[in-house]
Amino acid sequence: MYLFRNNRIWLGLTSLFAISTLYLFMTSAVINNTKKIGIIDNELVLQNYKGVIENSKILETKKNRLLGELQSYRVEIQDHVKQIEQESDQARKEKLIKVFQLKNKDYEKRKSQVEQEIQAEDQRLTKEVLNQIDAYLHEYAEKNQFDLVYGVTNSGNLLFAKKEYDITKDLIIGLNKRYDGE
C-alpha cells in the first residue's frame, strides 16, 4: 500500500508510465514516419532511480512516526483498560468505561486519519517522482532524437526487442545525475 510496495500500485504505476511514454513518442513517430526507437524497462527505472529510493525512505520515516504516535495512544488506552479492571468502586468503574469508549472512538478516528495521511503522502511522492522521470525522459528523447520510446513491464506489453534498443541504463544514469545535481 506504500510507495511502490503494493503490487496493484506498482503495476498501475508501471502501466501509467508505459502508456504516457508510448503516447508521447508514438504520435511523433507516426506523423514523421521515422524509425529511431528506444525501449525502457519501467520497473528497472523505478527500482534504480534515486528519487524513488529517497522518496521511499521519506515515506517510511513519516509512516513510522505516525504509526508510532498511534501505537503510543493505543498503549494509553490499554493502560486505561487495566485501570477499569482494577477498579472496585462501581460508580468510578462506569465513569472509566465511558472514558474508555470515548478514547477508543478517538483512536479509531486517529487511525483512519493516519491511514489517509500516509496514502496522501504516498500519492504525492509517487506523482513527484513520475513527473521527474517523465520530464527527463522527454528531454532525453529530444536530445537523442528518439521518435518512439516504449516503456515495458513484466506484464508483457512488449514481448520482444533487440538489446540495442534498450536505453534503460542510460536513462537511469542521466536521471540519477540530475537528481544528484550534476
43-47, 72-76, 90-94, 151-155, range with the lowest pLDDT: 151-155
152 strand-pairing partners = 41
- Read off the pLDDT band of 33 (50, 70, 90): low
- Model pLDDT, residue 14: 60
Q: Tell me the CA end-to-end span of the chain in Å, nearest whole number.
A: 33
Q: Are 29 and 147 in contact (CB under 8 A)?
A: yes
Instruction: Say whether pLDDT at 15 is over 80.
Output: no
Taking only the tens place, the pLDDT of each residue in 121-169 is: 999 999 999 999 999 999 999 999 988 888 887 776 777 778 888 899 9
Question: CA distances (Å), 69 to each of 5, 39, 63, 66, 100, in order?
Answer: 23, 45, 10, 5, 18
Alpha helices in the chain (DSSP H): 7-32, 42-48, 50-86, 90-143, 168-179
When comparing pLDDT for 7 and 2, which is higher? 7
